[in-house]
Amino acid sequence: MNTAINLLPWRQQRQRRQSRDLLIKLTIICLFALFLGILVNAQSRRTESELQLLQQSLKQETQRLQELQNQIVALNRPALQSEPLYPIPPRRAAELLNIVAALPLSEGELSELELNASRLLMSGTAESQHEFELVQDYLQKIALFRHVELAQFILHPNGETYFQFHLPYEPEQ
The CATH number for 151's domain is 3.30.1360.100
Continuous segment of H or E residues that includes residue 158: none
CB 117 within 8 A of CB 169: no
- On whether residue 1 sits in a domain, the answer given is no
CB 169 within 8 A of CB 146: yes
* SS (HEC) of 97-139: HHHHHCCCCCCCEEEEEEECCCEEEEEEEECCHHHHHHHHHHH
- On whether residue 5 sits in a domain, the answer given is no
Name residues whose C-beta falls within 8 Å of residue 146's C-beta, 6 or more positions apart in sequence. 168, 169, 170
Structural domain including 58 reads 10-81
* Tens place of pLDDT per residue across the chain (173 aa): 566 666 678 888 889 999 999 999 999 999 999 999 999 999 999 999 999 999 999 999 999 999 999 888 888 776 555 566 667 778 877 888 888 888 888 888 888 888 776 778 889 999 888 888 888 898 888 877 778 888 888 888 888 889 898 888 776 65
- On whether residue 135 sits in a domain, the answer given is yes
Task: Indicate whether 54 and 98 sit together in one domain.
Answer: no
